[in-house]
Structures are given as structure tokens and as C-alpha cells.
């Protein structure tokens, strides 16, 4: 019986000592200052950091946002004649409706680029004013997709300045992503938009 008690005491002392050593190791590891040592020759990393590269490319991508405020040029009254909105009332239509499709504005010479970036629901608008004169109906039949002409009022309302540009709703504003395409020949990287009716 005395022998069993002695064995239990020894086992308990060994367990307690082991527990104290493990706990002490954790404390020392938590408070110790890490030091590093290089074994062998070292070289700087030659490849650029992938995240930094992505962030740099995004920073080069011109993006800006527009709130398409609208001002009523007439008053809105209820059936009983009570004034609901006075003439001159300004509001953001995106507060009440959402635009499920994106608008892709390009010159007709960049139509292949637009077709490569367009989703099925997107609208492709052709900006006028370039050296090419294009019939959007005939061109739409050729590419099996409806095409639209960019109207001056839409250009002004969305504050479009260059093409190509992709317009998408983000919350209660429109985000404009402007692209500069590489071209062969004297054509500029991006052209100022002009009205489709401008010769």
C-alpha cells in the first residue's frame, strides 16, 4: 500500500514538473524576441509582389463616378390637385430605380473590343464624330446584337468624355471606367466624344 502511494506521488511530481516545463516554454516563447539568421547565400526577390502589381494596374485604370441628378421641368400633382413635386425639383433617379445593364460606349472601329467585354444584358452605344460613318442597324445585324447611337443628351447627362467607357451602377451613382486602347497608326489612344449628329 505504501509502495502504491509512493508511485502515485512520483507520477504526480513528474506530471506537475512536465506541465510546469511546458507552461514555462510557452511563456518564454511569448516574451522572447525573435531573431533570424541567414544560412548560406541570399538574394533579393526579383519578382514583383502580385498584390502590388494588381493595385498599380487598378490605379492606372481611370475610374470616376457620376450622380445623374435630374431636375423636373414641370410640376407633378396628385389626382386631387395636391402638389407632389414642384417644377425645378432635383433628385437622383438611382435612388428609386436600378440599372441592371451596363452601357458600353465605343466608336464603331472599337466594336470588336466592346463585343469582347460586353455581357448579354449590356447595351453597346456607338459614339459619333469619328472618320467612319456607320449604320448601327446594319452593323448590329452583322454582329447579331442590337447597337444604339449615343445621343448628345445622354453624353451630357453621364458626363462622358472619352471612348471606350463602361458605365455601371454602383449603389446610387454611376461608375465610369475609361479605357485607353493601343492603336496602330495615327489614331489617338482615346477620342473625345462628339454628338452622333456631328459630321
The pTM assigned to this predicted structure is 0.58
Question: Given this model, what pLDDT does residue 2 score?
Answer: 52
What pLDDT, on a 0 to 100 scale, did the predictor assign at position 172? Answer: 92
Question: pLDDT tens digits, residue range 86-115?
Answer: 999 999 989 988 988 999 999 888 999 999
Compare 53 and 66 and report the one with higher pLDDT: 66
CB neighbours (10 Å) of residue 91? 12
| Strands in the chain per DSSP E | 63-66, 70-71, 76-77, 83-85, 90-91, 103-106, 123-126, 147-149, 162-163, 165-170, 173-178, 191-192
pLDDT at residue 46 tops 90: no
Run of H or E including 171: none
pLDDT given at position 105:
94
The yes-or-no verdict on residue 21 having pLDDT over 90 is no
Q: What is the mean pLDDT of the chain?
A: 75
Q: Where are the domains of the chain?
A: 50-61+97-192
pLDDT at 189: 37
Instruction: Return the C-alpha cell found at 18.
Output: 512536465
Report cis status (omega within 30 of 0) of the bond before 164. yes
What is residue 54's predicted lDDT score, i.e. its pLDDT?
59
pLDDT for the residue 18:
58
On the question of pLDDT at 188 being above 50, the answer is no
pLDDT of the residue at 56: 57
pLDDT at 184 over 50: yes
pLDDT digits (tens, 9 = 90+) for 141-173: 888 999 999 998 889 888 888 889 999 999 999
Amino acid at each position: 500500500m505504501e509502495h502504491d502511494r509512493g508511485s502515485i506521488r512520483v507520477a504526480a511530481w513528474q506530471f506537475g514538473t512536465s506541465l510546469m516545463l511546458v507552461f514555462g516554454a510557452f511563456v518564454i516563447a511569448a516574451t522572447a524576441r525573435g531573431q533570424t539568421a541567414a544560412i548560406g547565400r541570399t538574394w533579393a526577390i526579383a519578382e514583383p509582389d502580385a498584390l502590388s502589381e494588381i493595385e498599380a494596374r487598378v490605379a492606372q485604370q481611370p475610374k470616376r463616378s457620376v450622380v445623374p441628378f435630374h431636375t423636373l421641368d414641370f410640376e407633378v400633382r396628385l389626382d386631387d390637385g395636391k402638389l407632389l413635386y414642384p417644377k425645378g425639383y432635383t433628385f437622383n433617379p438611382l435612388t428609386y430605380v436600378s440599372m441592371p445593364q451596363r452601357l458600353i460606349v465605343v466608336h464603331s472601329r472599337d466594336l470588336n473590343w466592346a463585343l469582347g467585354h460586353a455581357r448579354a444584358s449590356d447595351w453597346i452605344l456607338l459614339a459619333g464624330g469619328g472618320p467612319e460613318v456607320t449604320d448601327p442597324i446594319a452593323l448590329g445585324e452583322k454582329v447579331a446584337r442590337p447597337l444604339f447611337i449615343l445621343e448628345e443628351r445622354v453624353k451630357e447627362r453621364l458626363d462622358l468624355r472619352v471612348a471606350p467607357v463602361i458605365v455601371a451602377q454602383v449603389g446610387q451613382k454611376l461608375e465610369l471606367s475609361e479605357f485607353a486602347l493601343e492603336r496602330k497608326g495615327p489614331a489617338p489612344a482615346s477620342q473625345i466624344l462628339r454628338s452622333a449628329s456631328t459630321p
